[in-house]
Amino acid sequence: MEVKIGVQHAPREIVLESGQSAEEVERVVAEALAGKSQLLSLVDEHGRKVLIPADRLAYVELGEPAPRKVGFGAL
């Protein structure tokens, strides 16, 4: 699933493909905004962690889960 994160005072948004479900990402974001954790921590499809200070979050946009592409079709 594609996740776009807007960070305050940053000119670009952070975009990552996450293997986590929409409910899981929403729960982690809600906990960060509620003050239960000081960092928003997400893991992308390659196993890399993205850490963002919760007080700097501007928005989080959850995209549709994308099906895996199979084959050698033209891009």
Condensed to tens digits (0 to 9), the pLDDT of residues 40-66 reads 999 998 899 999 999 999 999 998 766
Q: In this predicted structure, what is the pLDDT of residue 55?
A: 93
Query: In this predicted model, which residue has the larger pLDDT, 65 or 3?
Result: 3
Q: In this predicted structure, what is the pLDDT of residue 9?
A: 93
**Does residue 34 lie within any of the structural domains?**
yes
Domain housing 48: 2-63
Full strand arrangement of the beta sheet holding 2-7: 14-17, 2-7, 57-62
Q: In this predicted structure, what is the pLDDT of residue 73?
A: 64
Q: What percent of the chain has pLDDT over 70?
A: 87
* pTM of the shown model: 0.77
**Does residue 68 lie within any of the structural domains?**
no
Distance CA 43, CA 20 (A): 8
**Does residue 70 lie within any of the structural domains?**
no
Total number of domains constituting the chain: 1
**Does residue 51 lie within any of the structural domains?**
yes
